A and B are shown apart, each in its own frame.
Chain A
Amino acid sequence: MPALPSFVPYLIHTLFPPWVRRPTEIGAEIMMTAGGAFIVYWLLKNKKLQWLWNEWLTTVDHKKIGIMYLVAAIIMLGRGGLDALMLRTNLAMPTLHFINASEYNEVFTTHGTIMVFFMAMPLIFALFNVVVPLQIGSRDVAFPRLNAISFWLFAFAAALFNLSFVVGGSPNAGWTAYPPLTELAFNHTVGENYYFVSLLMTGIGTTITGINFLVTILRMRAPGMTFMKMPLFTWATLNTSVLILFAFPPLTIALLESLLDRVAGTTFFGLAHGGMPMMYVNLFWLFGHPEVYILVLPAFGVFSEVVATFSRKKLFGYPSMVLSMTAIMVLAYGTWVHHFFTMGAGPAVNVFFGLSTMLIAIPTGVKVFNWILTMWGGRLQFTTPMLYFLAMIPTFVIGGATGVMLGAVPADYQFHNSYFLVAHFHEVLIGGTVFGLLAGVYYWWPKMFGYKLNDHQGKWAFWLFAGGFWPTFIPQYWLGLEGMTRRMYTYPFGMGWHTLNVISTIGGFIMGAGFLVLVSNVLRSRLHREVDATGDPWDGRTLEWSIPSPAPEYNFAVIPTVDERDWWWEEKQRRQSGEKPAGPKPEDIRPIAIPKNTPVPILLGAAFFLGAFGLVFTWWPVALTGLAGVFGVLIYSWFQYDHYRILSAGEIRETEELLGRLGA
C-alpha cells in the first residue's frame, strides 16, 4: 500500500483532533452533512438554484435581507438553546457527568456567544431591516449594497463560529474571553481563534449596519416626519445605531489585540513584557455595557409600538419616552466598570460607576410607567405580541431591581460571578430582549410575509416559553445566594443546591418545548396561510401598515406626507370620512429607481470566510488568498457603474392596481 502524502495525516490531526471526535460532535457532523446534502439535492431537483441566487443570495432589498436575518437568528436560537439544555442537564443532579468539564466549558462559551452575537443581534437587525424603512416612508436604506455586505459578513461569521464545533474544536474561555485564559500559553486549541476571528468579522458587519441605519433615519424620512413625529421603534433604532457606532471600536481593538497575542506572538494582554490583562476587561466592557442597551433598546421600541396598537390608544408620554431612551443611550457609556468592581480599581472609581448604574434605572422606570399608563383606559387586545409585552413587565422589573442590587458595590463583591448574576442577566436579556424581539416578530410577521402567525399556537408557545422562564431563572437567584458560582460544571452532594437546580432544569426544558411549538407555529402558519389582503391586520398606527403586505419592492408608490405622530391612524379617519381618497392617485405615480442585485456582498463574505479560516489555523497562504479575494471583489465592484434599474410608472400603476390600491 503506498504511503499517504504527509499532509493528509497532518490535516486530519489538525482539523479533527480527538476533542471533536466525541459522540455529540460526530452526531452534529452527520446531521450537518446530511442536512446540507438534502438542501442541495432539493434545490437541484426542483431547479431552484437560479431562483435562490437571483431572489435571495444577490438581493439588496432590505425586506429580503431582513427575512434572511430572521431565518438565521431562529436557527441560531435553536443551536444556543440546545447548548443551554446540555448545560442544564449536566446541572440537574449533583455529580451528574452528562458532559465532562472541558466540554462544559466549550458549551457555555458557545451558548453565550451565539445567543448574544448570532441570535439577538441578527434578530434585531431583522426587525431594523424589515420595519425601519417602511416606518419612515423610505424606499430602501441609505446604502443598500452595504446592507447586504453587513448581512453576508454576519452569515459567514456565524457559519465559521459554528464550524468550530466539528472542525478544530470550540472556544472554551466564556463569551467574555478574558485573558490570560485565552492566551496561547494556556489554551492551545484553535477554539479561541475561531471566537476572535468570527466576532471581528461580524463586528465589521454590525458597525456598517449601525452607520447605515443612522444615515437612513437622519436623511431619508418622509416629508413632514420631524424627529418628534418619528415612531418609537425608529427612535430605538436611531439610539441603537449611535450605541453601535461608539461601542464596537473598543471591542474590535480588544479582539484584534487578543488575536495578535495568539497568532503573532505579541503580549498585549499576556503577563510578560508589561502586558495588561485587565485592560482587555476594560475594553471588553467598554463595548459590553453599551451592548446590553443595543440589545434592549430595540425591544423597548417594539413594546412601545405593540402596547399602543393593542391598547388602541396613542402612546402615553411620547416626549418622555424619547427623552428617557436618549438618556439611556448616553448613560450607557458611563457604567461599564460595574462588570468588574472586584478588579479593585479603588473606592472612588467603584462608587462613581455604582451611582451611574443606579441612575440608569430612572429612565428605564419612566418607560415602564409610560407603557402601563398607555394601557390605562385602553381597549386591550390580548394577541400574542401583547402577551409577550405583559410578560415583560414583571420580569424586567425584577431583573432591573436585581441589577440595581448588583450595582451596589459592597454587595457586588458577594454577588459577583455567582448564579445571582446569571439569573439577573438572563432575566433582563430573555424577559426584556427575547420577549421583545419575539413580540416584534409576531407583530410584523404579516408585514413580512402577507399572513399572520396562528394566534392560538402562538399563545401555546408563549405560555410554554414565558411559563418555563420563571422556574428556570428565579431559583438561580437563591442558588447564587447559597454560593453556587457561574460556569461550574458539576457540584457535590450536600450543598443544598439540588432541589433548586432540578426546578431550574425542568423550567429550561419547558422553554425548549416552547421553542419547538414556536417553530411548528411558523411552519404550520405557512402551510395553512390565511392571506391578509388589507396590509393592516392589527389596525395599526404607523406608516408601514399603510402599504400592502408583503410590501412591493418599491415600498411606497407615492411617498406620503406625514403631518401627525400616528399618521396612518389619523389618515384612516380622514379616509373613512371621505376627506381624502383611499390610496395614491394614478397621476401622482412617478418612475422609481431600484438598486440592482449584485453578487459582490456574498462573494465578499466568502472571501472573508476563506481568509478567516486560514487565520484560525494560522495557515498564512490560505489567509492571504482570502485577503486577495477581498481585494479582488472590491476591485470588481469598483468597475460596476450601472447600479440602478428604472421601474416605469406604468409598471408601478399595474402592481398597485392588482393590489387594489389605487385611489380614484
Chain B
Amino acid sequence: MNGGDEQHERAIEPGFEFISPRFEEPKFPMHQVWGYAASLVLTFAALWMTVNRIMSPSVLLGVVLAMAVGQAALQLGVFMHVRESRGPAWHLVPLGLAFAIGIGLVGMSAWIMLFKSGVS
C-alpha cells in the first residue's frame, strides 16, 4: 500500500518505474518468517556442503557464491525492506552500483586466487 505522502506527485521517469513508491504494512510478518527460515537453510546448506566436500572445489565455490548472493538479496529484500519507500526509492540505483563493485571484487579475487603455482 502506498503511503499518503505528497512526494509522488512528480511522475517517475520512464525506465525508472522500479523506484516507484511502495510500502507494505501486513498484520503478521509472514515474509520475515519465511526469510528467516530460508537464511538458516542457505547458511547451513553451504556449511554442510563445504564440510562434507560433496563436489569438486571449483564447482563448490560457484555454488556457495551463488548461495551467498541469494542470501544477500534475501537479507536486503526481506529484512532491510530495500524495495519499500514512501517516496521514490532512489537508493536502489546506488545499490546496483554497490552490487556491481562487490561482484567485481569477489569475482576478480576468485580469478586471481585460482592460479596454480602451488604457493599455498
The listed residue (B101, B104, B108, B120) touching A276 by CB distance below 8 A is B120
Q: Give Cα A275–Cα B113 distance, bound, in whole angstroms.
A: 13
Does B54 have its Cβ within 8 Å of any Cβ on chain A?
no
Q: Which residue of B lies closest to A346 (CB)?
A: B115
Given A246-B98, A277-B120, A278-B120: A345 in contact with B112 (beta carbons within 8 A) = yes
* Residues of the A chain whose Cβ atoms lie less than 8 Å from the Cβ of B104: 333-334
The listed residue (B101, B112, B119, B120) touching A333 by CB distance below 8 A is B101
Chain B interface category by residue count: 10 to 19
Residues A283-337 near B (CB distance < 8 A): 283, 286, 333-334, 337
Contact B111 A349 (CB under 8 A): yes
* Residues of the A chain whose Cβ atoms lie less than 8 Å from the Cβ of B101: 246, 333
Distance in Å: Cβ of A238 to nearest Cβ of chain B: 12
Contact B115 A344 (CB under 8 A): yes
Does B52 have its Cβ within 8 Å of any Cβ on chain A?
no
Distance in Å: Cβ of A339 to nearest Cβ of chain B: 12
Q: Using a Cβ cutoff of 8 Å, how many contacts connect chains A and B?
A: 43
* Residues of the A chain whose Cβ atoms lie less than 8 Å from the Cβ of B113: 276, 278-279, 282, 345
Contact B98 A343 (CB under 8 A): no
The listed residue (B102, B108, B111, B119) touching A343 by CB distance below 8 A is B119
Contact A345 B115 (CB under 8 A): yes
* Residues of the B chain whose Cβ atoms lie less than 8 Å from the Cβ of A250: 105
* Residues of the A chain whose Cβ atoms lie less than 8 Å from the Cβ of B58: none
* Residues of the B chain whose Cβ atoms lie less than 8 Å from the Cβ of A349: 111-112, 115
Q: Give Cα A278–Cα B102 distance, bound, in whole angstroms.
A: 20
* Residues of the A chain whose Cβ atoms lie less than 8 Å from the Cβ of B56: none
- A-side interface residues, number (CB < 8 Å): 20
* Residues of the B chain whose Cβ atoms lie less than 8 Å from the Cβ of A274: 120
Q: Give Cα A488–Cα B111 distance, bound, in whole angstroms.
A: 33
* Residues of the B chain whose Cβ atoms lie less than 8 Å from the Cβ of A246: 98, 101-102, 105
Distance in Å: Cβ of A542 to nearest Cβ of chain B: 26
Which one of B104, B112, B119 has the greatest number of beta carbons of chain A within 10 Å? B112
* Residues of the B chain whose Cβ atoms lie less than 8 Å from the Cβ of A278: 113, 119-120
Residues B74-103 near A (CB distance < 8 A): 98, 101-102
Q: Give Cα A271–Cα B101 distance, bound, in whole angstroms.
A: 30
Distance in Å: Cβ of B97 to nearest Cβ of chain A: 9
* Residues of the A chain whose Cβ atoms lie less than 8 Å from the Cβ of B120: 271, 274-279
Complex interface bits, B7-31 against A, C-beta within 8 A gives 1, otherwise 0: 0000000000000000000000000
Contact A344 B119 (CB under 8 A): yes
Q: Give Cα A349–Cα B105 distance, bound, in whole angstroms.
A: 14
Residues A263-280 near B (CB distance < 8 A): 271, 274-279
* Residues of the B chain whose Cβ atoms lie less than 8 Å from the Cβ of A282: 109, 112-113
* Residues of the B chain whose Cβ atoms lie less than 8 Å from the Cβ of A345: 112-113, 115, 117
Contact B111 A286 (CB under 8 A): no
* Residues of the B chain whose Cβ atoms lie less than 8 Å from the Cβ of A275: 120
Contact B115 A333 (CB under 8 A): no
Q: Which residue of B lies closest to A330 (CB)?
A: B101
Contact A333 B105 (CB under 8 A): yes
* Residues of the A chain whose Cβ atoms lie less than 8 Å from the Cβ of B112: 282, 337, 345, 349
* Residues of the A chain whose Cβ atoms lie less than 8 Å from the Cβ of B102: 246
* Residues of the A chain whose Cβ atoms lie less than 8 Å from the Cβ of B108: 334
Residues B38-68 near A (CB distance < 8 A): none
Q: Which residue of A lies closest to B104 (CB)?
A: A333
Distance in Å: Cβ of B37 to nearest Cβ of chain A: 27
Q: Give Cα A276–Cα B119 distance, bound, in whole angstroms.
A: 8
Distance in Å: Cβ of A164 to nearest Cβ of chain B: 30
Q: Which residue of B lies closest to A250 (CB)?
A: B105
Contact A286 B119 (CB under 8 A): no
* Residues of the A chain whose Cβ atoms lie less than 8 Å from the Cβ of B105: 246, 250, 286, 333
Q: Give Cα A413–Cα B109 distance, bound, in whole angstroms.
A: 21
Q: Which residue of A lies closest to B98 (CB)?
A: A246
Q: Which residue of B lies closest to A349 (CB)?
A: B112
Q: Give Cα A183–Cα B60 distance, bound, in whole angstroms.
A: 28
Distance in Å: Cβ of A487 to nearest Cβ of chain B: 21
Q: Give Cα A115–Cα B21 distance, bound, in whole angstroms.
A: 47
* Residues of the A chain whose Cβ atoms lie less than 8 Å from the Cβ of B111: 349
Q: Give Cα A100–Cα B105 distance, bound, in whole angstroms.
A: 41
Q: Give Cα A337–Cα B112 distance, bound, in whole angstroms.
A: 8
Distance in Å: Cβ of B45 to nearest Cβ of chain A: 21
Complex interface bits, A12-40 against B, C-beta within 8 A gives 1, otherwise 0: 00000000000000000000000000000
Q: Give Cα A28–Cα B60 distance, bound, in whole angstroms.
A: 53
Residues A222-277 near B (CB distance < 8 A): 246, 250, 271, 274-277
* Residues of the B chain whose Cβ atoms lie less than 8 Å from the Cβ of A337: 112
Residues A415-470 near B (CB distance < 8 A): none
Contact B115 A286 (CB under 8 A): no
Distance in Å: Cβ of B87 to nearest Cβ of chain A: 13
Q: Give Cα A345–Cα B112 distance, bound, in whole angstroms.
A: 6
Residues A363-421 near B (CB distance < 8 A): none
Which one of A271, A283, A345 has the greatest number of beta carbons of chain B within 10 Å? A345
Q: Give Cα A274–Cα B51 distance, bound, in whole angstroms.
A: 13
Q: Give Cα A271–Cα B120 distance, bound, in whole angstroms.
A: 7
Q: Give Cα A345–Cα B113 distance, bound, in whole angstroms.
A: 7
Q: Give Cα A349–Cα B117 distance, bound, in whole angstroms.
A: 13
* Residues of the B chain whose Cβ atoms lie less than 8 Å from the Cβ of A277: 119-120
Q: Give Cα A53–Cα B108 distance, bound, in whole angstroms.
A: 49
* Residues of the A chain whose Cβ atoms lie less than 8 Å from the Cβ of B117: 343-345
Which one of B101, B102, B105, B119 has the greatest number of beta carbons of chain A within 10 Å? B105
Q: Give Cα A275–Cα B101 distance, bound, in whole angstroms.
A: 26
Q: Which residue of B lies closest to A276 (CB)?
A: B120
* Residues of the A chain whose Cβ atoms lie less than 8 Å from the Cβ of B98: 246
Q: Give Cα A277–Cα B108 distance, bound, in whole angstroms.
A: 17
* Residues of the B chain whose Cβ atoms lie less than 8 Å from the Cβ of A271: 120
> Shortest 3 CB-CB distances between A and B: which pairs?
A345-B115, A276-B120, A344-B117
Can you give 8 A-B contacts (C-beta < 8 A)? A274-B120, A275-B120, A277-B120, A279-B120, A343-B117, A344-B117, A346-B115, A349-B111
